[in-house]
Amino acid sequence: MISIDYQDRRPIYEQIVARYEMLILTGVLQEDEQLPSVRQMAQELSINPNTIQKAYSILEHDGYIYTVRGRGNFVSGSSALMKNRRRDWEDRLKTLLREGKKLGIDRAACEKILEGIYENGGEEESAV
């Protein structure tokens, strides 16, 4: 299910994280489905178990998986994942709002920009 592209410039753990994110977001891996153990994945991919552990830790931190001590790693429910993704989105939005304030964009202008972007599905640039 997971393979490593040794031509890819990204670190191996990042490739594993990206692959699992895609498998989870596209529904290939379902809620509460168990992932292979760290040892099993390391053997299958012929890589250091610490690399797998690092990838799993990132996936857990980002809300894609959860760990049950002594049992393994499992795919998180969609509500937990969506909550985490929403929190990340809100953090990015807060950063953009702070930047907008520094640029002198007031609340009314910000609302107008957001409304225009929202209405156009995020596809077109604002004319403000």
pLDDT at res. 5: 92
77 Cβ partners below 8 Å, 6+ apart? 31, 32
**pLDDT category of residue 116 using cuts at 50, 70 and 90:** confident
**pLDDT category of residue 85 using cuts at 50, 70 and 90:** confident
Q: SS3 sequence, the chain?
A: CCCCCCCCCCCHHHHHHHHHHHHHHCCCCCCCCECCCHHHHHHHHCCCHHHHHHHHHHHHHCCCEEEECCCEEEECCHHHHHHHHHHHHHHHHHHHHHHHHHCCCCHHHHHHHHHHHHHCCCCCCCCC
The residue among 86 and 110 whose pLDDT is bigger is 110
pLDDT at res. 87: 80
Phi and psi (nearest 5°) for 43?
Answer: -65, -45
Structure tokens at 103: 């640029």
Phi and psi (nearest 5°) for 93?
Answer: -65, -40
Burial letters for 17-37: b for 16+ Cβ neighbours within 10 Å, e otherwise?
A: bebbeebbeeeebeeeeebbe
- Residues 67, 55: contact at Cβ < 8 Å? no
For residue range 40-71, list pLDDT tens digits in order. 999 999 999 999 999 999 999 988 999 999 99
Q: Which CATH architecture has domain 12-76?
A: Orthogonal Bundle (1.10)
pTM over 0.85: no
**pLDDT category of residue 39 using cuts at 50, 70 and 90:** very high
